[in-house]
Structure 1
Amino acid sequence: MKQSSFYQDYFGLRDRPFTLVPDPEFLFWSPQHRRAYSVLEFGVLSRAPITLLTGEIGTGKTTLLHNLLSQLEDDVIVGLVSNAQGNRGELLQWVLNALDVPFETDATYVQNFQRLQDFLIDQYAQGKRVVLVFDEAQNISREGLEELRMLTNINSNKDELVQLILVGQPELRDMVRHPSMNQLAQRVSASFHLNRMTPDLTMKYIEHRLKAAGGSGKEFTPDACLLVHDITGGVPRLINQLCDFALLYSWTEETGRTVTSCMVQSVVDDGVFFCQRAVEREAQA
C-alpha cells in the first residue's frame, strides 16, 4: 500500500507530519531545544571533556544529537555507541568498534586500551580530534561511567585526545550526581536537561510539523491540541503517535479536514494509543 493512500491526500499533505523517524526537516526549535543544542555545540567546540544531555524518553535528545553530528567538520572523528552495556573490557570493545579500530576478541584489556590510545594519538598527530557519543547512556553501570571518565585522562600536553558526549534519560543525571561519581561530575563541563513541552509549545509543535509536511498548520483545532498535550504530557514522541492516529481517524470518518478534540479522544477511547499517562487519566475519569 502506498503512503499516498493514507490521509495525506485528504488533508493536502505531501508527507506524514508525525512519523517517529528523526528528520531534520521536521525539527522543532523550541527555546529549550535551542538552548540544549547550543550546549551540545559549545561542549564540542570548547573541547569539554564530558558533555551531558538528559531528558525523558521522546523529548528529542537523539534528534538534536544527529543534527549536531551532521554539522561537525571533517576534522572531527565521531564514534557513536548506542545501548552499551557490560564490564569495562566489553565497554572498551564498544568504543573500538564505534571508531572502526580493529581488535582481537581474545585480546586483553591492556592490549585493547593500548590500541585505543595509539589511535587517539595518531588522530591528534593528523590534526583531528575524537568525539565519543554514548546514546542511552543510562544503561551504563557506575563502574562503566568511571571507566569512561578515565578515557578523558588520555591527553597530550594540555590537549585532551578524546571528548565524551553522554546522552540519556533522567536516571543518567541522577547517576552523575551521586556522591560516588564526584570525579566524573567534575569532568562535565557542559550539561542540559530537556523538559516536557508546555501546552503552548505543544500547539506550536503540532502546527510546525503540519506546515513542514505541506499543510496549513491549522488542521488541529486549539482544543484538540490542548487535549493532545493533556494526554501526552508534552512529550514529542507521544504527541507524534497520538496526532498520527488522530489524522488517520479523521480521514476514515470523513468528518472534515479538521481534527477535533472528539477525534483525539476517540483514539484514546479505542485503545489505539497507549501510554501510561493516558491510562492514569482514564482511571481518574
Structure 2
Amino acid sequence: MSQALGYYLDHFGLRERPFALAPDPEFIFWSPEHRGAYAMLDYGLSTRAPITLLTGEIGSGKTTLVHHFIDGLDDEVTIGMISNARPGVNDVLRRVCAALSLDLEKDLDSSDLFAVIQTFLLAQHAIGKRVLLVIDEAQNLNRNALEDLRMLTNINAGRDEVLQLLLVGQPELRTTVRRPDLVQFAQRVAASYHLPRLDPAGTAGYIASRIRHAGGNPGIFSRQAAELIYETTQGTPRLINQLCDLALTYAFAADLKMVKRDVVQQVLNDGVFFGAGGFPDA
C-alpha cells in the first residue's frame, strides 16, 4: 500500500479502500433489484433451468453479483467460467473446454470438441455433480456460438439435463436472443432478470454500505453530495465508485472529514472524472 493511500484510509478511519473498481463480492450492495437478481439466479440453478440470462447496463454490478452467487455454491456444482466471451463457433467450444479444464488433442473439429464436452458432462453426472457454465460479456456471442451452446444444453442423462448455462451480458443480449432465427435458444431460457441502475435512494444506500463495510462512518458523504453523485452517474455503480473515490481524495487533500456537495462539484469542475461526459464504453 502506498504512503498516500495509507494516509487516505487513516484520514477517514477506513480499513480498506471502499470504492475500488475491481468486482468484490464482499462489497455487494443488496438493493431490492440486486436481491431480485440473486433470487432469479438461485431459482435458475435450483430448478435446473437450461439457460438463465442476467443482463444489465455497463457497470451495473452484474459481475460482482455473479461472483457472490458462485462463491456461495457447494461442491456439488462444478463451475466453468468464461469471463470475456468472443464470437466464433469453434472458439466458444474450445473456451468451454478451457473453462472446464479439459485436456484437448490437437486438430479437433467442432464435433470432436462437442464429444469431449459431452463425455465430461456425463461423467460429472455419474458422480452426482451438475455443471454450471457461466459466460460473462455474452452479448459478444454470435448466432452460431449461441446455437453451439444450445446444443450442449440438449445433452442429458435419462431425464436429467447435465449442463446449465448462465449468460451474463449487456441489454443487447436480450435483443439477440429474441431474434426469429434463435427461437429454439429462447425457448430454453427458463429464468432471466435485467439489473437496472440504482435510483437516488439506492445510490445513497450504496455509498453508505461500502463506507460501512470498509470500516468507516456511513455519514462521510452528505445527502446533498450523494444527490449530485446520482445526478452525475445516473446510479451506475462503477461510475459511483470512480466519483466517490475521487471525492474522498479531494476531501483528504483539503483536510475535510466529510464529503459535501461542493467537494463533488469541484471534482467535476476539474474534469478529472471522465464519466461526467457520458457513460464509458467498457
TM-score, length-scaled by structure 2: 0.95
Specify the alignment match of 2:273 in structure 1.
273
Following superposition, the deviation at residue 210 of structure 1 comes to: 0.9
Identity %: 52
Specify the alignment match of 2:257 in structure 1.
257
Q: Tell me how far apart the structure 2 counterparts of residues 109 and 145 of structure 1 sit (CA, whole Å).
A: 14
Following superposition, the deviation at residue 5 of structure 1 comes to: 2.8
Q: Tell me how far apart the structure 2 counterparts of residues 248 and 265 of structure 1 sit (CA, whole Å).
A: 13
| Structure 1 position 244 matched with structure 2 position 242 | no
Q: Tell me how far apart the structure 1 counterparts of residues 172 and 195 of structure 2 sit (CA, whole Å).
A: 13
Specify the alignment match of 1:206 in structure 2.
207
Q: Tell me how far apart the structure 2 counterparts of residues 48 and 177 of structure 1 sit (CA, whole Å).
A: 18
Following superposition, the deviation at residue 280 of structure 1 comes to: 5.8
For residue 106 of structure 2, what is the amino acid of its counterpart? Answer: T
Task: After superposing the two structures, state which structure 1 stretch, 235-244 or 113-122, moved more.
Answer: 113-122
Following superposition, the deviation at residue 128 of structure 1 comes to: 0.9
Q: For 2:187, what is the secondary structure of its paired residue?
A: helix
Q: Tell me how far apart the structure 1 counterparts of residues 220 and 274 of structure 2 sit (CA, whole Å).
A: 23
How do residues 126-205 of structure 1 correspond to structure 2 at under 5 angstroms?
A: 126-205=127-206
For residue 262 of structure 1, what is the amino acid of its counterpart? Answer: D
Q: For 1:51, what is the secondary structure of its paired residue?
A: strand
Contact 1:6 1:248 in 2 (8 A): no
How do residues 1-285 of structure 1 correspond to structure 2 at under 5 angstroms?
A: 1-2=2-3, 4-254=5-255, 256-275=256-275, 278-279=276-277
Following superposition, the deviation at residue 23 of structure 1 comes to: 2.2
Task: After superposing the two structures, state which structure 1 stretch, 205-214 or 104-113, moved more.
Answer: 104-113
Task: After superposing the two structures, state which structure 1 stretch, 221-230 or 209-218, moved more.
Answer: 209-218
Q: Tell me how far apart the structure 2 counterparts of residues 271 and 145 of structure 1 sit (CA, whole Å).
A: 41
For residue 249 of structure 1, what is the amino acid of its counterpart? Answer: Y
Q: How big is each residue's C-alpha offset from its partner over 1:171-223, in whole Å with a ceiling of 9 and x where there is no partner?
A: 11111122222111110111000001100110111111111111110111111
Contact 1:82 1:134 in 2 (8 A): yes
Task: After superposing the two structures, state which structure 1 stretch, 105-114 or 33-42, moved more.
Answer: 105-114
Q: Tell me how far apart the structure 2 counterparts of residues 184 and 42 of structure 1 sit (CA, whole Å).
A: 19
TM-score, length-scaled by structure 1: 0.94
Distance 1:6 1:58, change over 3 A: farther
Contact 2:87 2:140 in 1 (8 A): no
Q: How big is each residue's C-alpha offset from its partner over 1:78-110, in whole Å with a ceiling of 9 and x where there is no partner?
A: 110122224211211000010011112311222
Distance 1:73 1:84, change over 3 A: same
Following superposition, the deviation at residue 13 of structure 1 comes to: 1.4
Following superposition, the deviation at residue 4 of structure 1 comes to: 4.7
Identify unmatched segments of 5+ residues in structure 2: none
For residue 188 of structure 2, what is the amino acid of its counterpart? Answer: R
Task: After superposing the two structures, state which structure 1 stretch, 23-32 or 47-56, moved more.
Answer: 23-32
Q: For 1:72, what is the secondary structure of its paired residue?
A: coil
Distance 1:31 1:183, change over 3 A: same
